[in-house]
Amino acid sequence: MKKPLVICSALIAGAAVIYLQSALFFANRFQFNTRINGQDVSLKTAQEAKRLLLASTDNYALILRGRDDLTDMIRGSDVGLTTDVDGSVEALVGDRNNFTWFESLSTPASYELPLVGTSVDGNALQQAVKNTVFFDPSNIRQPSNATYEEHDGIYEIVLGDPGADPDAEKVSEAAREALLTLSPDLTLDSSNCYRPAVPPNNAELTDVITKLNTFSSVNISIPFGDTTETLDAGEIGTWIHLEDDNVILDEEKVAGFVDDLAEKYDTFGTNREFKTHDGHTETISAGTYGWWMDRDATTKELIAAINEGLDKEMEPVYFQKAAQFGEQDYGNSYAEVDLDNQHVYIYKDGEVVTDTDCVSGKAINGHCTPDGIYPITFKAQDTVLVGEDYRSPVKYWMPFNLGVGFHDANWRGSFGGDIYVRNGSHGCVNLPPSKAGEVYANVERGMAVIVYGGMTQSEALAYTGQPSSAKKTASSSSSSSSSSSGRTSSAGPASSKPAQQETPTQETAPVQDQTAAQQAETIAQAQANYESLGMTPEQAAAKVQADIAAQAAAQLTAQQKAAQQAATQKAAEDAAAAQAAAAQAQAAAQAAAQQQVLEQQFQQQYAAQLAAQQAAAAQQAAAEAAAAQAAAAQAAAAQAAAAQAPAQP
């Protein structure tokens, strides 16, 4: 019994020894079934495991992945890569209980440890990068920026081509980091190794698109009576451009658009054909009435409306408005002043509501009431008209041309006829007190006053028999005419107008063209008018100067249009002359060509005739030579025959 016990004890003791020795063995070695980074390190020490792991990197290569499906690699051995494993290998040796080492026989363990490169040869790396396929010129494609396109009035971002143009320094830096961590591959796009284009989410580009779409939604209606001008995105699109990634609206083109509208619809300072009460036509060419657009203010408002990017209606800003748009901008309610017949007509809705005789400016001394069309400036009652040599209280005062206006004149006993020639006003239109109230009640501020006819100073002097450079022949009234130079009268010879008119002298010219004395009187009267409405002297003076400036502007506009018409006519005449000269030159060239053809034909005919004459002469000479030869032969034959005949006794 003792022997088996001894054997059993020995076996147990031996097993214990083996167990303890194995436990001591695995104190500094990896147990069975242990792998690190896929390498079997079972029963190996930490140093042996390191050598095994580092040996696995001898063939390490970094795979580079680029655009256009291009790939290449950089081998660690080509760039002097040295690798290492961090100290955690030693820690892994004791990760499992060495006294339970037997469990590793059936339970595997797997670990992943980062292997790191400790250094890379920088110069060798840069050269290796440049040798990759990504820097082959045939594989490089320049990027194009994201941009925008317009589709059905909407601007959209269009993606640009990112290209394939890598940055060598960025690739080298990204490859170095990948090599030092022994990364299996490197995607150049993910590491931002390509030279960038403008991306579609670029803030500046987004702002551009927003601004363009703001402009593209604009639809502005600008009313001119029954006509509406429309400004849409299509036209605005021609007014914008990009400058340093900013959308710029060309304000000069906006101003040009406004200028075109003003040229088309403004009537301030333009001529008008006016059909008078008796049916003839007058050309009204002076005055301050009509549509007058404030171009600068309108341009500013239009620019603001465009920048809002909204559909809207925008009325232009005006210095002055008229009754309506169109050729007859004064409408159907207006005042007509016939200076030839010294009569005033007030129209409402096309019908005469009141009319009266009047007395206009004294023609003989140059105080003629100016022709033209003017707006009623204002209306006032119970005021005093003040001039250099007069103070005239009036009940009704309706100025329309600076210091010229309608008012009652209770100091007069009669009106109409030719009173105005010798005993007219200082320029105003005097009305009978019994009619002035009716006129006052039927005119409104801004209503047009159309003045025409009347004698000039030189005509008045001639008419009264006083010395004058003009000669006047008074004639009785006759039937009405449609010509503006054929004015008629129903008040007798004294109020008739000569058929052949002179150019108006200073008495009918604007304030700027009057004499200094006339200017002073006109301005004083106008200022007194405004002061009678409660204005301060300073306010009245400023208002008068504004009125004078408006009159000057109208005169300038008329002069500019006349100059433009003259220039257009001159250009047409020059073009016609050039066309005539060209036609004349063409005709001369054709005549020369025809002459050359005739000369060539003549020369050909002459040569043919000369050749025929020469041929005929040659034929004649040949015939004569043949005849001579025949005669000589005949004479010779006769001589021979005579020699042979016998002598005669």
pLDDT digits 0-9 by tens, 296-326? 999 999 999 888 877 889 999 999 999 999 8
C-alpha span between 213 and 157 (Å, rounded)? 11
**Strand 343-348's sheet: what is its strand order?**
351-357, 343-348, 334-338, 448-452, 372-375
The DSSP letter of residue 631 is H
Please check the confidence at residue 418 and state whether its pLDDT lies above 60: yes
Please check the confidence at residue 80 and state whether its pLDDT lies above 60: yes
Q: Label residue 385 by pLDDT band (50, 70, 90).
A: confident
Neighbouring CB atoms inside 10 A of 381's CB total 12
Q: Label residue 114 by pLDDT band (50, 70, 90).
A: confident
439, 449, 464, 440: which is closest to 339 by C-alpha? 449
C-alpha span between 63 and 77 (Å, rounded)? 14
Delineate the domains of the chain, giving CATH numbers in brackets: 28-201 (no CATH), 203-271+291-320 (3.10.20.800), 334-560 (2.40.440.10)
278's CB contacts (< 8 A; 6+ apart) are: 480, 488, 490
pLDDT of residue 589: 67
The DSSP letter of residue 305 is H
From 31-40, 208-217, 422-431, the region with the lowest mean pLDDT: 208-217
pLDDT of residue 169: 95
- DSSP per-residue string spanning 157-193: EEPPP--B-B-HHHHHHHHHHHHHTT-SEEETTTTT-
Q: What is the mean pLDDT of residues 378-403?
A: 88
pLDDT of residue 473: 34
Alpha-carbon torsion 207, 209, 210, 214, what sign?
positive
Could you tell me the two tokens for 17?
């020894």
pLDDT of residue 7: 66
Please tell me which of 109-113, 253-257, 283-287, 603-607 the model is most confident about, judged by mean pLDDT: 253-257
Q: What is the mean pLDDT of residues 198-210?
A: 60
Please check the confidence at residue 171 and state whether its pLDDT lies above 60: yes
pLDDT of residue 645: 43
With a pLDDT cut of 90, the percent of the chain lying above it is 39
Q: What is the mean pLDDT of residues 37-55?
A: 79
pLDDT of residue 23: 73
pLDDT of residue 180: 86
Residue 362: half-sphere exposure toward Cβ, Cα within 13 Å: 8
Q: What is the mean pLDDT of residues 182-190?
A: 91
Q: Label residue 197 by pLDDT band (50, 70, 90).
A: low
Average pLDDT, the chain: 78
Please check the confidence at residue 22 and state whether its pLDDT lies above 80: no
Q: What is the mean pLDDT of residues 233-242?
A: 78
Q: Label residue 601 by pLDDT band (50, 70, 90).
A: low
pLDDT of residue 617: 58
pLDDT of residue 115: 73
From 119-128, 214-223, 246-255, 453-462, the region with the lowest mean pLDDT: 214-223
